[in-house]
Structure 1
Amino acid sequence: MSSFAERLSPARLVLLMCTVEILSMTGFATYPALLLVMQGQWGLSNSEAGLISGSFFAGYMIATPFLVGMTDRIDTRRIYLLATALAALGSLGFALWAQGMLTAMFFQAVVGAGLAGTYMPGLRLLTDHFRGPVPSRGVAFYTATFGLGTTGSLLLAGALEPVGWQWAFVVAALGPLIAGPMVLISFPARPPQASGAPPGLLFDFRPVFRNREAMSYIFGYAAHCWELFGLRSWMPAFFAFSMGLTATQGGFWFGAAALAAWVNMIGPLASILGNEVAVKKGRRRLVLSTMAGSGVLACLVGFSAPLPLIIVFTLMTIYFLFVMGDSAALTAGLVAAAEPGRKGAAMALHSLMGFGAGFLAPLAFGLVLDLAGGNESVTAWGLAYVALGFWSLFAVVAALLRRFSRKGSI
């Protein structure tokens, strides 16, 4: 008897996986949405607040080799179920027992470990069962849905903030508890082409490192995640700072967390369109163009804080569109470049390096804020955003120099 997922059309399969992705992410942005509340109650410096944000990605990075790498060996559904339990436990633990930086770091790391076992394993389930002619399009919709999950998490936390920050974390635990069983009952016990992983070490990334095409996408994804997750971690706080400078009262729908949510909601469109352009014009051209644009805008957006809110919001939205423009193209490129039987390992290294950069970026942002004058300084915010765009600009310059050196050697 065929499973529910095997009876679905490609479009409905993508819809199913996008739905469970959103549910699994209800706790993803709870802390960034409430960062200023936590910072005030616990007396945290910007560096300490950024370290708590980064601990989410540290948990993701530590868990990724185990949870994603194991998809080459065992039933991906069971990994997904375990991961959703971790995500729920982390959010609930934060609500009940977080009392300062160290405990908050621990529970954020647990939530991050949960995402490690849902995001890429969910993509593995999708690509293993996708029967359509253009699998990269399904990947694009799935990766773009990450932005919708972020939006939902931000809005949920913002709506519950007046009730108390603890309740925001309690409610955030419910989404993963729904997503895990949905995946377990929807998919067959083993993927359709379960040929088994090649012999060797479970976390042997050496064959992936030797795959030059795959590594180019992995390094590009690391630069992308540095900018994206640093931006997401501090965006609500930046909007709050800008609104304070201009004495703007936004209310729930246009408060700092809501503005960040609306920006994140626009992101999936850029990711999907970016993948379509990449398919027609080439991934390399698309990736370099979007990285160049995001790097330049990063040098502008932080200094815009004193301007009217509509200008700040518009500039942030354009910046975010450029940041998200190469997201799906990078991940789809990695999936296409991965060797048969090594897909789990390649996806694990992809996530490991990307979310490793995501761990460091919020901390680096907070350090720049502290060193450049604190979070009441426009210059400090401007330089912090410059730090986010640095690696994208570096990657573009390095790629162009490499291209010119090759032409010169012919």
Structure 2
Amino acid sequence: MDKSAIFAVFFARILLYTPFFTVAGCIPVLIEEWKISATQASFIVSGFFLTYAFSLLGFSWLSDQIGAKRSVSISALVTALTCTAFAFCAKDFTTTLIFYGLIGLSQGGVYTPLIVLFRENTPAPYLGTAIGWLVASTSIGYAASIALTGLSVGISGWRLAFLTTGLPPMVGAVILLVAIKAVPNVVLQKVPGNGLWQELRGNDSARQLLGGYTAHNWELLGLWAWAPALLTASYVVTGETTAIATQLSAHFITLLHLVGAVAAYTMGRLSDRFGRRTILIWVTSIATGFSFSVGWLVELTPYVVAGFVIVYSFFAIGDSPVLTTATAERIEPSCLGAVFAVRSLSGFLAGAISPVVVGSVIDVLRAGDYNDTLVWGMAISTLGFGGLMAVLFATRLPDHPRN
């Protein structure tokens, strides 16, 4: 793919991902206005991640059957429709759970099949950089999601937030379809005796990368789901109302995801230069340290808390393009889609569970009338167990592509 097509995909995915953190950005307001618990709020977010996991599974499998380009096209069109439905029809816990889940079910094809499309059409020396751009567009889409949510909540509440984040994917879908129009649709022939399970059994790199991605998602998606509420809690401690605190935290969460885009591009490029395994070990180790410490800082000034959370997120997402590039390089092309399907399912199942674990810890400790430091310190520390496993899988990754 040439640079103009890559940048068009980059911009399209920003628009397609604007609903991704709408509910997470609204959690404090929704808890107050809908009279729901933190666990119930986290169920909406986790329901989205769960359906997204199955969407990634389905579209990754589909890309092996009908080609990556067709899978991307189908997903983009369905995403535009479901996001529009969410914008106009989600109005309470039940309808939001349903329509937000449908968005997750439709979006998988604008991620993993696009990785396959990049692998098929990008020279190997530049693959890490290209996938870095792809992951960076996701982070900027997340930033746009949080920014629009925070701005809308401040102006008119959650209803406007659902509208302003649910409508841009229609435009994004059109741009993406135009960007990949000239790219060929390739359906690879299966290699006899080299299916999914044979690949996982015989390729140690595949197993370690699969485990590493699953652990990575536990930590990263749990952080992203609860970082807005953590910063909101920090502002509330200083005396701000929940609505104002939510709006203020949104500014920092927007910056968090913009910095995440820099991390994705930077780490992807560094891994081209210094090797995938080396970068993975460093970034996972640093992120794990933050997982076990940042929640305990909630009662410090919000600006200090926000700074630590932003740096934390930089390293928590830094391994994402490296894991993805290493997987694309070390897997037999004819079953790459199937491996991405299994990876996506395991990763986003973990990412669906971890926010509920965090929310449950918060509810249990608040019921016991514990202070905010203990509540948030213990809750966010649960993400560190995923980080520890990510470090373990990174250290066990073979130096050579296939082992």
TM-score, structure 1 normalization: 0.87
Deviation at 1:22, TM superposition (A): 0.7
Unaligned runs of 5+ in 1: 404-410
Is the Cα–Cα contact under 8 Å of residues 75 and 190 in structure 1 kept in the other structure? no
CA distance in 1, matches of 2:342, 2:214: 10
Deviation at 1:149, TM superposition (A): 0.7
**Kindly tell me: are residues 190 and 144 of structure 1, through their superposed partners in 2, closer, same or farther at Cα, counting changes over 3 Å?**
closer
In the alignment, structure 1 residue 207 sits paired with structure 2 residue 198: yes
- Matched with 1:224 is 216
- Matched with 1:271 is 264
- In the TM superposition, what whole-angstrom CA distance separates every residue of 1:25-75 from its partner, at most 9, and x where no partner exists? 011111111111221122111111111110111111122222121111214
CA distance in 1, matches of 2:246, 2:296: 24
**Kindly tell me: are residues 394 and 224 of structure 1, through their superposed partners in 2, closer, same or farther at Cα, counting changes over 3 Å?**
closer
**Kindly tell me: are residues 197 and 173 of structure 1, through their superposed partners in 2, closer, same or farther at Cα, counting changes over 3 Å?**
farther
**Kindly tell me: are residues 124 and 395 of structure 1, through their superposed partners in 2, closer, same or farther at Cα, counting changes over 3 Å?**
closer
Is the Cα–Cα contact under 8 Å of residues 70 and 185 in structure 2 kept in the other structure? no
Higher helix share: 2
- Matched with 2:56 is 64
Deviation at 1:319, TM superposition (A): 1.0
**Kindly tell me: are residues 173 and 339 of structure 1, through their superposed partners in 2, closer, same or farther at Cα, counting changes over 3 Å?**
same
Deviation at 1:253, TM superposition (A): 11
**Kindly tell me: are residues 242 and 89 of structure 1, through their superposed partners in 2, closer, same or farther at Cα, counting changes over 3 Å?**
same
- Matched with 2:354 is 361
1:339 to 321, 332, 342: 332
Deviation at 1:127, TM superposition (A): 2.6
- What are the within-5 Å matches in structure 2 for residues 121-140 of structure 1? 121-131=113-123, 133-140=125-132
2:175 to 161, 179, 182: 182
In the alignment, structure 1 residue 392 sits paired with structure 2 residue 383: no
Deviation at 1:258, TM superposition (A): 1.6
Q: Which amino acid aligns with 2:256?
A: V
**Kindly tell me: are residues 178 and 80 of structure 1, through their superposed partners in 2, closer, same or farther at Cα, counting changes over 3 Å?**
farther
- The count of corresponding residues between Structure 1 and Structure 2 is 392
Q: Which deviates more, 146-155 or 208-217? A: 208-217
Is the Cα–Cα contact under 8 Å of residues 59 and 108 in structure 1 kept in the other structure? no
- Matched with 1:98 is 90
Deviation at 1:287, TM superposition (A): 1.3
CA distance in 2, matches of 1:153, 1:388: 23
CA distance in 1, matches of 2:343, 2:310: 26
1:314 to 300, 307, 310: 307
SS of 2:332's partner is: coil
Deviation at 1:288, TM superposition (A): 1.9
Deviation at 1:146, TM superposition (A): 1.3
Q: Which amino acid aligns with 1:380?
A: V
- Matched with 1:407 is none
- Matched with 1:247 is 239
Is the Cα–Cα contact under 8 Å of residues 116 and 328 in structure 2 kept in the other structure? no
Q: Which of structure 1's runs of 4+ aligned residues deviate more than 4 A?
A: 197-201, 248-254, 397-400
1:141 to 133, 142, 160: 133
CA distance in 1, matches of 2:208, 2:72: 28
**Kindly tell me: are residues 63 and 285 of structure 1, through their superposed partners in 2, closer, same or farther at Cα, counting changes over 3 Å?**
same
**Kindly tell me: are residues 325 and 200 of structure 1, through their superposed partners in 2, closer, same or farther at Cα, counting changes over 3 Å?**
same
Q: Which amino acid aligns with 1:209?
A: L
Q: Which amino acid aligns with 1:74?
A: I
Q: Which amino acid aligns with 2:374?
A: T
Is the Cα–Cα contact under 8 Å of residues 86 and 113 in structure 1 kept in the other structure? no
Deviation at 1:101, TM superposition (A): 3.3
Deviation at 1:248, TM superposition (A): 5.5
Q: Which deviates more, 125-134 or 307-316? A: 125-134
- Matched with 1:330 is 323
Q: Which amino acid aligns with 1:57?
A: F
TM-score, structure 2 normalization: 0.88
**Kindly tell me: are residues 132 and 178 of structure 1, through their superposed partners in 2, closer, same or farther at Cα, counting changes over 3 Å?**
farther
CA distance in 2, matches of 1:169, 1:83: 21
- Matched with 1:406 is none
Q: Which amino acid aligns with 1:113?
A: L
2:14 to 22, 25, 28: 22
Is the Cα–Cα contact under 8 Å of residues 8 and 179 in structure 2 kept in the other structure? no
- Matched with 2:400 is none
SS of 2:223's partner is: helix
In the alignment, structure 1 residue 158 sits paired with structure 2 residue 146: no
- What are the within-5 Å matches in structure 2 for residues 263-302 of structure 1? 263-302=256-295
SS of 1:26's partner is: coil
Between the aligned residues of both structures, percent identity stands at 27
Q: Superposition RMSD on alpha carbons, in Å?
A: 2.7
Deviation at 1:362, TM superposition (A): 0.9
**Kindly tell me: are residues 197 and 398 of structure 1, through their superposed partners in 2, closer, same or farther at Cα, counting changes over 3 Å?**
closer
SS of 1:28's partner is: coil
Is the Cα–Cα contact under 8 Å of residues 32 and 53 in structure 1 kept in the other structure? yes
Q: Which amino acid aligns with 2:29?
A: V
